[in-house]
Amino acid sequence: MSADHFDRLGLPRRFAVDAAALERAYLARSRAVHPDYHLAGPSADLSASLELSAALNEAYNTLRDPFARAEHLLALEGGPSATEQKDVSPAFLVEVMDLRERLEAAGDNAAETDRLANDFTARYEALLDTVGDLFHRIETADVPDRANLLKQVRATLNAAKYVRGLIRDLNSD
């Protein structure tokens, strides 16, 4: 990974992020490197400012999204990428297929689509809570099965990606 977004924003490297602290760190650093303050200076300063500003924006956007934050932290911790570990449990895949069928069957039924939206959102949030719990275990202890926990994080993120796809498909109709 080319950059540590936590370091770039001066935040501790952990999954649990205080949204207000993230916002404060982003705004403080953004003011310091904003291109508007370097317009009158040498073009190299402006160019560097534009690059730093873009990097801060990327860091902020990554860390404020729990899924993207988890992906970033997993990479920093040396965990498997989605390409390296694609698996989800067969039972989960069957469940996702059933949910897709329910989604298609709901059609224009507003009450059913609302139920599905609530169900999908609750499942997604539960998966992210599990990711948070796994990272907390990794962060707070010298865990002998650290590699296994990182694999569990990846598997949970893979499942969350499926549920996020269901939410996207529900909202695109």
Q: Tell me if 151 is assigned to some domain.
A: yes
Percent of the residues in the chain that have a pLDDT greater than 90, as a whole number: 73
143 or 106: which leads in pLDDT: 106
Q: Give the per-residue pLDDT at 173.
A: 64
Q: Tell me if 135 is assigned to some domain.
A: yes
120-155 pLDDT tens trace: 999 999 999 999 999 999 988 777 888 999 999 999
Q: Are residues 48 and 118 in the same domain?
A: no
Q: Tell me if 80 is assigned to some domain.
A: no
Q: Tell me if 106 is assigned to some domain.
A: yes
Q: Tell me if 83 is assigned to some domain.
A: no
82 or 87: which leads in pLDDT: 82
Q: Tell me if 163 is assigned to some domain.
A: yes
Answer yes or no: are the C-beta atoms of 121 and 59 closer than 8 Å.
no
Looking at the 3D structure of the chain, how many domains does it have?
Answer: 2
Q: Tell me if 49 is assigned to some domain.
A: yes
Q: Tell me if 69 is assigned to some domain.
A: no
Span between the terminal Cα atoms of the chain, in Å: 36
Check whether 46 has a pLDDT greater than 80: no
Answer yes or no: are the C-beta atoms of 166 and 100 closer than 8 Å.
yes
Query: What Å distances lie between residue 28 and 24, 31, 62, 158, CA to CA?
Result: 6, 5, 17, 34
Domain that holds residue 27: 5-64
Q: Are residues 25 and 97 in the same domain?
A: no
Check whether 94 has a pLDDT greater than 80: yes
Q: Are residues 96 and 159 in the same domain?
A: yes
Q: Are residues 163 and 104 in the same domain?
A: yes
Q: pLDDT confidence of 168, banded at 50, 70, 90?
A: very high
Cα–Cα–Cα angle for 136, 155, 14, nearest 5°? 25
What is the SS3 assignment for the chain? Answer: CCCCHHHHCCCCCCCCCCHHHHHHHHHHHHHHHCHHHHCCCCHHHHHHHHHHHHHHHHHHHHHHCHHHHHHHHHHHCCCCCCCCCCCCCHHHHHHHHHHHHHHHHHCCCHHHHHHHHHHHHHHHHHHHHHHHHHHHHHHHCCCCCHHHHHHHHHHHHHHHHHHHHHHHHHHHC
Q: How many CB atoms lie within 10 A of CB 172?
A: 6
Look up residue 84 and give its two tokens. Answer: 């390296």
Q: Are residues 15 and 55 in the same domain?
A: yes
